[in-house]
Amino acid sequence: MHMLRKQQPAITLFSIGMIGLGLLSVIYRDFAYGWQPVPDFHPGRDVLAVACGLFMIALGAGLVLRATSRIAVRVLLPFLLAWLLLKLPAVLAAPGIEGVWIGVGELGMLLAGGWVLFARAADLEGFFRHITGAKGVRLAQVLFGLAVIPVGLGHLFYLAITTSLVPSWLPFRSGLAFVTGVGQIVCGVAIMASFFPRVAALVETGMLALFAFLVWGPASWVAAPKLAGTPPGPRFPLTAFLITWIIGASALLIANNSGVKEADAPDLLREYQSSDFTPVRPL
């Protein structure tokens, strides 16, 4: 049961982030800004945004209900893959702009977290054996490490902007912006190379938690916009907070599943199937 219990906090955090983003889509009848770059079309875009939001809420809830968790993880992976592919037009249009790759990296980290859940609990055979179990976890680990690198590079390419996001009460703001960027790059390479991957993923989780609460925490929801060109009001910083939250949950899933052996995944599934958890427990 030890391995199963290790997943619960990360899955719960992942689910909360998914539900929160879904609620924002329903409330504002829109998608998550540049993190969900759905083309601007009318009529019907607002209806699609609400439907997507309700789907994300159901998906997040499904992850924490034992009866629906397996279906939820099977649906989650293709949904996150489709979400990542929304960035493809921007990449094709401007592949030389680092800012474009930051968004790709963030969604790649999110996809990697969903892939870990899929690899550990989808219980599919045939072709899916190549992307589940220990092999699937390792592939997700490589994807996560690769995706972290452009996000860290963004701190260095846009050092002035990153510095402006660091709370004014912190000393050495420019230095912190630089160090966190380098730190993310190092963590990404370490995770890809499987060099102390759990430690690297936990460090990345900690940095993302700091970014979420220090940069996009509750104080930013009632303050003036931190980034030039972003709309006033709480929606943008709250969206950024939830995106960072769920990516942090993905990093925690990567950490918790580092060093998975081939026999672990079926054991996890059998333990879950034979357990007597209450319905609110994840997986």
DSSP letters of 97-147?
Answer: -HHHHHHHHHHHHHHHHHHHHHHHH----GGGGGSSHHHHHHHHHHHHHHH
Please give the torsion angle defined by the CA atoms of residues 239, 137, 141 and 111, in that order, rounded to the nearest 10 degrees: -30
Instruction: Tell me the chain's radius of gyration from C-alpha atoms.
Output: 19
Residue type, 94: A
Residue type, 201: A
The pair phi, psi for residue 148, each rounded to 5°, is: -65, -30
Give the contacts of 122 (CB within 8 A, at least 6 positions apart): 70, 73, 74, 77, 128, 132
The predicted pLDDT at position 7 comes to 84
pTM of the model: 0.90
Q: In tens digits, what is the pLDDT along the chain, a chain of 283 residues?
A: 344 566 889 999 999 999 999 999 999 999 999 999 999 998 999 999 999 999 999 999 999 988 899 999 999 999 999 999 999 999 999 999 999 999 999 999 999 999 999 999 898 988 899 999 999 999 999 999 999 999 999 999 999 999 999 999 999 999 999 999 999 999 999 999 999 999 999 999 999 999 999 999 999 999 989 888 899 999 999 999 999 999 999 999 999 998 766 545 444 444 444 444 343 333 3
The predicted pLDDT at position 262 comes to 54
The predicted pLDDT at position 274 comes to 44
CA–CA distance from 83 to each of 13, 56, 115, 133, 136 (Å)? 19, 12, 13, 23, 20
The predicted pLDDT at position 283 comes to 39
* Distance of alpha carbon 64 from alpha carbon 66, whole angstroms: 6
Using a 10 angstrom Cβ sphere, with 0-12 exposed, 13-18 middle and 19 or more buried, the burial of residue 93 is exposed
Q: What six digits make up the tokens of 43?
A: 């009529």
* Distance of alpha carbon 131 from alpha carbon 23, whole angstroms: 31
* Distance of alpha carbon 79 from alpha carbon 70, whole angstroms: 15
The predicted pLDDT at position 275 comes to 44
Place of tokens 């219990």: 5
Identify which of 112, 45, 111 has the alpha carbon closest to the alpha carbon of residue 84. Answer: 111
Q: What six digits make up the tokens of 15?
A: 């689910």
First to last CA, the chain: 12
* Distance of alpha carbon 218 from alpha carbon 237, whole angstroms: 8
Identify which of 146, 117, 147 has the alpha carbon closest to the alpha carbon of residue 133. Answer: 117
The predicted pLDDT at position 125 comes to 87
* Distance of alpha carbon 209 from alpha carbon 215, whole angstroms: 10
The predicted pLDDT at position 1 comes to 39
Place of tokens 């790709």: 104
Using a 10 angstrom Cβ sphere, with 0-12 exposed, 13-18 middle and 19 or more buried, the burial of residue 34 is middle
